[in-house]
Amino acid sequence: MRTVMDNVRAALAARKDKAPYPPWEDSEVVATGKLAQASLVDCFSANMRAVNGVVMRSVDEVARYLEEGRHLHGYCAPELAQAIGEKLLPSTTFSSRFDEARYDDYKFGITRATGAIAESGSIILNDRDTSCRLGALTPWVHVAVIESGSIHRTLGEAIAALGDDPNTIWVTGPSKTADVEGILIEGVHGPGVQIALIV
């Protein structure tokens, strides 16, 4: 590995004129055409779907999805238990306390998101608003509950709004990797299904 990195450094050192960084206007949105003019919810939804995420607008949609997929037991953040957990179908059970020793028992996790980024379709999770990080990252299905007013248009706006929480995660679609043979596989290091429930 050292030889490879030495070769890379030597090749870069030989270049005298390096390309400048491209100009960046934070007010510009990566999405173009109709999406650039769309509402934040519509822009986020389109970009979330583009990265294989799922967008839902009601608890009923979530309840039907969980039952149809046989994701019948999971974690629901305590602050969402009454508004969402108790409205799931009778076949679906949940716990508001995540037992780390039994992480495989949770087929879904429902947690609050801090916000979202419209231009990339990303969900923002942090320790202040996400009651249990394992409840968001270990189940096969993660439902992030996002308030429509917390969607930022650009990456720059989201960075400016980060605050001082030291643990922030940006989730862009289901977990994925292409490390093996360049083949894209989803659900390897985290949820295989990422749902954004916009309220």
Examine residue 17 and state whether it is found in any structural domain, yes or no: no
Q: For residue 157, give both structure tokens.
A: 């706006």
Instruction: State phi, psi for 59 to the nearest 5 degrees.
Output: -65, -35
Q: What is the pLDDT of residue 144?
A: 97
Examine residue 7 and state whether it is found in any structural domain, yes or no: no
| Closest-CA residue to 196 (of 42, 73, 36, 26) | 42
Biggest CA-to-CA distance, the chain: 67
The parent domain of residue 147 ranges over 31-198
Examine residue 124 and state whether it is found in any structural domain, yes or no: yes
Examine residue 26 and state whether it is found in any structural domain, yes or no: no
Q: What is the pLDDT of residue 28?
A: 53
- Between strands 193-198 and 141-146, the pairing is parallel
Whether the full predicted model's pTM is greater than 0.95, yes or no, is no
| Closest-CA residue to 74 (of 138, 119, 12, 28) | 138
Q: For residue 60, give both structure tokens.
A: 């009923």
**Mean pLDDT split into 10-residue runs, the chain, 199 residues:** 74 72 57 66 94 95 96 95 94 93 93 94 91 90 96 89 85 82 75 95
Examine residue 140 and state whether it is found in any structural domain, yes or no: yes
Domain harbouring 112, CATH code: 3.40.50.10420
CB 107, CB 76: distance < 8 Å: no
Examine residue 19 and state whether it is found in any structural domain, yes or no: no
Examine residue 15 and state whether it is found in any structural domain, yes or no: no
Task: Convert the chain into a string of H (helix), E (strand) and C (coil).
Answer: CHHHHHHHHHHHHCCCCCCCCCCCCCCCCCCCCHHHHCCHHHHHHHHHHHCCCEEECCHHHHHHHHHHCCCCEEEECHHHCCCCHHHCCCCCEEECCCCHHHHHHCCEEEEECCEEECCCCEEEEECCCCCCHHHHHCCCEEEEEECHHHEECCHHHHHHCCCCCCCEEEECCCCEECCCCCCCEECCCCCCEEEEEEC
Examine residue 121 and state whether it is found in any structural domain, yes or no: yes
Rounded to 5 degrees, what angle do the CA atoms 159, 161, 166 make? 75
Q: What is the pLDDT of residue 24?
A: 58
The total of structural domains in the chain comes to 1
